[in-house]
Amino acid sequence: MCSTCGGTGYYRLDVEFGHPQFGRVIRCECKAREDVERLNRLSGLTATERRIKLEDIDTDGLVATAAMVIACQRFINNPRGIVTIYGGPGNGKTMALQACINAMLDKGVEAVYITAFDLLSYIREAFTQDRATRLLNVNDENAYMRLRRFERIPVLAIDELDKVKVTDWVLEQLTDLIDRRYRKAEDGQGGTLIAMNDDVDSQPSWIASRLKRYTVIHNEDGDMRPSLSQYEMNL
């Protein structure tokens, strides 16, 4: 049992009425540690990915990559709205997304990184479609709750949005999620990062039009995987 908070996770400072800290509830150090561990588990990042920072992205002579990093730094400073990054494989888009999520987690902000492939797996797990009525039923409560969390979480990064081929109701669910993230952005309530290889306009027009109301970065720099593998070797 924690001697500071007695296990409740909160305590009040023993100060007199009128003191600026009077009545203020403090999050106990013991739970703050648990919070960090919980955030790390929630993040969707491996221990190695959890260490990636924006500074790790090689921008030397890479104008578009440098612009991408600046946009990400802006997002970290003010994680609102939507930032969409597109461009060929291996130019640091994934690292950029993961670095943003890491920066959020380091500030104690709930943030999740997920690939569109995993996201769609959750959608498929969560629902079954009734063949006769075509209505969706919740199939797996845990998967369903996970999806709802992706809608509510303050910062969400969806990677490889165009790596999945989706049809009808799966697309509906994906569109629904992006719509909720979009409305969150409109309310100034949260931020979403999206990365993909193809042009934003390759997305269904409904999704593309929403993404284009916010920041869209085209990283046209070439493959930088050689320097990425160097980075991994230096870890």
Collapsing DSSP states into helix, strand and coil, what is residue 126? helix
Task: Report how far apart, in Å, the C-alpha atoms of 48 and of each of 62, 73, 195, 232 are.
Answer: 25, 21, 20, 9
Q: For residues 3 and 205, which CB has a smaller minimum distance to Zn ion in the complex?
A: 3
Q: Which is nearer to Zn ion, 30 or 143 (CB)?
A: 30
In this structure, what token pair is assigned to residue 150? 């992706």
CB of 24 to Zn ion, least distance (A): 16
If one asks whether residue 161 binds Zn ion (CB under 5 A), the answer comes out as no
CB atoms within 10 A of CB 141: 9
* Contact status: 143 vs Zn ion (CB under 5 A): no
Binding window for Zn ion (CB under 5 A); candidates: 3-11, 58-66, 114-122, 197-205:
3-11
Binding of Zn ion by 5 (CB under 5 A): yes
Q: Which is nearer to Zn ion, 7 or 204 (CB)?
A: 7
Closer CB to Zn ion, residue 11 or residue 214? 11
Binding residues for Zn ion, total number by CB under 5 A = 5
128-137's contacts with Cβ under 8 Å and 24+ in sequence apart are: 129/169, 134/169, 136/169
Smallest gap from Cβ 20 to Zn ion, in A, equals 23
67 CB-contact burial (10 Å; exposed 0-12 / middle 13-18 / buried 19+): middle
The distance of closest approach from Cβ of residue 1 to Zn ion in the complex, given in angstroms and rounded to an integer, is 9
Restricting to residues 18-57, name those near Zn ion by CB under 5 A.
28, 30
| Closest residue by Cα to residue 184 from 202, 210, 204 | 210
Q: Between residues 28 and 217, which has the closer beta carbon with respect to Zn ion?
A: 28
Q: How far is the CB of 5 from Zn ion (least distance, A)?
A: 3
**To the nearest whole angstrom, how small is the minimum distance from the Cβ of residue 17 to Zn ion?**
25
Instruction: Give the CA distances from residue 75 to residues 43, 105, 193, 197, in Å, rounded to whole numbers and listed in that order.
Output: 17, 14, 9, 20
Cβ neighbour number for residue 74 with a 10 Å cutoff: 13
How far is 165 from 152, CA to CA, in rounded Å? Answer: 25
Of 7 and 226, which has the nearer Cβ to Zn ion?
7
Q: Which residues bind Zn ion (CB under 5 A)?
A: 2, 4-5, 28, 30
